[in-house]
Amino acid sequence: MRFGFHISISGGFSKVVEKAKIRGCETIQFFSRNPRGWKVDSLDHQETEAFRESIRSSHLYPIFLHLPYLPNIAFRNSPFYSRSIDSIVIDLQRAEQLGAPYLIIHIGHRMESSEEEAIEAVAWAMNQAFDRVRNSILLLLENTAGQGTEIGYEFGQIKKIIERVEARERIGICLDIAHAFEAGYDFSNKDGIEKTIDSFDQTIGLKRLHLLHLNDSKTPLGSRKDRHWHIGEGCIGREGFRYLINHPLLKHLSGIMETPRKDTVEDLKNMEVIRSLLE
């Protein structure tokens, strides 16, 4: 398994590889713009080419682009629904420009709508985005913890979304371990992990799984509260992660950590812990 972190683009794309190297990354995830705003500036061609070249010479792969936080495609009556689809379109294009073969998106909140209406809204939005951008970028749906009105915390919900998308070959999954645990899938022990992997395979299919978000959980199994924590220090624990990252059906994947950080020290500690669990 190749390990990495979400890397900030503050200071520009030219700083990304340097930040990744300091943390010992083999793979990275990043935003292409401000994750908490709607404003989009065009990518600078020279900066984009310099970024692609720095990635090529760094041996960082694969690289994953993440959609900003604001888009919500699970509530069709939102005044921001159309803008959310536009946001996916923009980042599908930017992923291609930046040389990232994957774009990760949050499935969203259903708000006042029903689960079925939310599933339909997500699928319709993805169909619209795929119609507008016909490239080879794989859109990775990230499972949720089920906090509040979040949709996509059960594998069955994600399956229903995929079944309603026309270009299903363009969809993959990013499985966030903390979110899954908080939604009720036990990753803290061998039996729970085996049951969860089997459930995922039977419901969605392991062939669609392209990335793990390796986050421990500060809240207990089934809490439906999204609280990331340091590897081995949360409710999943070291033994859960040890079995997970060495599993023969998963060890070929990339694992991105989104663990809490104030500075580089926490990242270095989490990288040391996760690597110590490799067998």
Is 252 annotated as catalytic? no
Kindly name the residue from 109, 210, 228, 261 that is annotated as catalytic.
228
Euclidean distance between CA atoms 146 and 154, whole angstroms:
8
Nearest to 150 by CA among 185, 183, 186: 183
Kindly name the residue from 91, 154, 176, 216 that is annotated as catalytic.
176
Is 81 annotated as catalytic? no
Nearest to 106 by CA among 39, 40, 63, 152: 152
In the prediction, which pLDDT does 254 show? 98
Strand partners, 216: 229
Kindly name the residue from 208, 226, 261, 267 that is annotated as catalytic.
226
The greatest distance separating any two alpha carbons of the chain, rounded to the nearest whole angstrom, comes to 51
Is 179 annotated as catalytic? yes
Computed over every residue of the chain, the mean pLDDT equals: 97
Euclidean distance between CA atoms 124 and 225, whole angstroms:
28
Is 185 annotated as catalytic? no
Angle between helices 155-163 and 190-203 (to 10 degrees): 20
Nearest to 218 by CA among 243, 195, 236, 199: 236
Unique residue bearing structure tokens 């990753």: 187
Question: What amino acid is encoded at 5 in this protein?
Answer: F
Is 247 annotated as catalytic? no
Mean pLDDT, to the nearest integer, of 175-184? 98
Is 69 annotated as catalytic? yes
Q: Is residue 11 helix, strand or coil?
A: coil
Residue 253 contacts residue 239 (beta carbons within 8 Å): no
Output phi, psi for 96, to 5 deg. -65, -40
Euclidean distance between CA atoms 116 and 197, whole angstroms:
25
In the prediction, which pLDDT does 46 show? 93
Is 226 annotated as catalytic? yes
Can you read off the two tokens belonging to residue 99? 């040389």
First to last CA, the chain: 11
The pTM of this model reads 0.97
In the prediction, which pLDDT does 65 show? 98
Kindly name the residue from 23, 109, 142, 186 that is annotated as catalytic.
142
Residue 30 contacts residue 63 (beta carbons within 8 Å): yes
In the prediction, which pLDDT does 203 show? 98
Nearest to 130 by CA among 156, 169, 157: 169
Kindly name the residue from 23, 33, 66, 210 that is annotated as catalytic.
66
Measured over the CA atoms of residue 273, residue 153, residue 170 and residue 88, the dihedral's sign is negative
Question: What amino acid is encoded at 229 in this protein?
Answer: W
Kindly name the residue from 91, 213, 243, 267 that is annotated as catalytic.
213
Digit-coded pLDDT (tens) for 31-71? 999 988 898 999 999 999 999 999 999 999 999 999 999 99
Digit-coded pLDDT (tens) for 93-112? 999 999 999 999 999 999 99
Percent of the chain scoring above 90 in pLDDT: 96
Kindly name the residue from 33, 170, 179, 210 that is annotated as catalytic.
179
In the prediction, which pLDDT does 199 show? 98
Kindly name the residue from 106, 110, 208, 210 that is annotated as catalytic.
106
Please state which architecture CATH assigns to domain 2-276: Alpha-Beta Barrel (3.20)
Residues across the chain: 279
Q: Is residue 111 helix, strand or coil?
A: coil
Is 110 annotated as catalytic? no
Structure confidence at residue 263 as a pLDDT band (50, 70, 90): confident
Is 258 annotated as catalytic? yes
For residue 177, give the H/E element and its range. helix 177-182
Question: What amino acid is encoded at 115 in this protein?
Answer: E
Tell me which of 23-32, 39-48, 183-192, 240-249 is least confident: 39-48
